[in-house]
Copies of this chain bind each other. A is one copy, B any other.
Amino acid sequence: MNEDKYSYTLAEIAEYIGAKLIGEEQYRVSAIASLQKADSHQLSFLSNASYHKYLSSTDAGCVILHPEQEVLFNGNKLVTNTPYNAFALATELFKPVYNHVDGIHESAVVGNGSTIGEGVSIGANVVIGNNVTIAGGTIIGAGCYIGDNTIIDVDVLIHSNVSIYHDTVIGKGSIIHSNAVIASDGFGFAHNKVESGWQKIHQLGGVVIGQNVEIGAGTTIDRGALDNTVIGNGVKLDNQIQIAHNVEIGENTAIAAATAIAGSTVIGKRCTIAGAVGIVGHLTIVDDVHITAMTLVTKSIKTSGSYSSGVPMNKTEIWRKNAARFNRLWKSLKS
């Protein structure tokens, strides 16, 4: 979609991604595409060995690949031991510039005592509370709300219609996608036995988000009850994730969409949690744990490794028979 907007020589790309160019230094490419779809003005890459069959037929103007695959391709090539990382780096060259205003849009509302750094862009209809600090280079998209006393570090990118409540801290270089909500009230109520109703526990903690965190569209992160909810440096959260109050997520953990984590659970570093996982509250999950899609986690995980739950999909008529037998396992099998 970005063709013709960009044009780089292969020499420029080689330097940017730190790969060795074998081919024409002044040859130009204007976009990135898969091996199957690339044309002669496009850059491609081979990172998964199972795709090397496409090397012989690709029309790509240049291919990023590993030294082991070098001999399989005769055209222009960028050779590196980490072709997928090199491709990731190359996407930086072709990314569109996010449309943002210079300075503070005239329709934006900025509260008293707030400090807006140099080069900050505040979009149309943004509303910023009192005593907010926004450091240099940060971009706030249209229609966002930023509550009182929030501190946003340099080079943060917040897309449109994000809501951030008071007393939130966001580290440098983080990205927040549209319609995410940060620091809404945790779900805290005391049961009132006399009236059979619920008494609100006002949520007095905050949310602290580290550096280089990415938060997906529609994701919600609740503020802590007394202490803070903490998202470590380098954490990547996909869309529509729910992070309850006082959850702590360790550095560089990545979580896929639609996963929900209940209150006060602590998750280690470098974990990878697939989509639609449910994790109940007050658990501890150690570093380097992988959890597969739609797993329900009801106990702490004390050893790194891969964990799963659920049952396999089947034709509904077969599944019904298996499910009926599951329901009688307590009678069918000894305890």
CB within 8 Å of B: which A284-335 residues: 290-299, 305-330, 332-335
Cβ contacts under 8 Å, A185 to chain B: 175, 177, 214, 216
Interface string of A125-148 (1 = CB under 8 A from B): 101011000000000011101011
- CB of B204 within 8 A of CB of A91, answer yes
Contact of A85 among B32, B190, B214, B293 (CB under 8 A): B190
CB proximity of A38 to chain B, nearest CB, Å: 9
Secondary structure dominating the interface of A: loop
- CB of B307 within 8 A of CB of A323, answer no
- CB of B129 within 8 A of CB of A99, answer yes
* Contact A202/B92 with A257-B187, A278-B276 known, Cβ cut-off 8 Å: yes
Cβ contacts under 8 Å, A124 to chain B: 109, 125, 127
Copies in the complex: 3
CB proximity of A185 to chain B, nearest CB, Å: 6
Q: A34-B226, A326-B326 are in contact. List 8 more A-B contacts (CB 8 A).
A: A85-B192, A88-B189, A99-B147, A125-B125, A238-B244, A294-B296, A311-B326, A321-B335
Can you spell out 16 A-B residue pairs with CB atoms less than 8 angstroms apart? A1-B149, A2-B167, A2-B204, A96-B148, A107-B109, A145-B161, A161-B161, A163-B217, A179-B220, A200-B214, A239-B244, A242-B275, A276-B276, A293-B296, A322-B328, A325-B330
Q: Which residues of chain A have a CB within 8 Å of any CB of chain B? A: 1-2, 31-34, 37, 82, 84-85, 87-89, 91-92, 94-96, 98-99, 105, 107, 109, 111, 123-125, 127, 129-130, 141-143, 145, 147-149, 159-161, 163, 165-167, 175, 177-179, 181, 184-185, 187-193, 196-206, 212, 214, 216-218, 220, 222, 226-228, 234, 236, 238-240, 242, 244, 251-252, 254, 256-258, 260, 262, 269-270, 274-276, 278, 280, 290-299, 305-330, 332-335
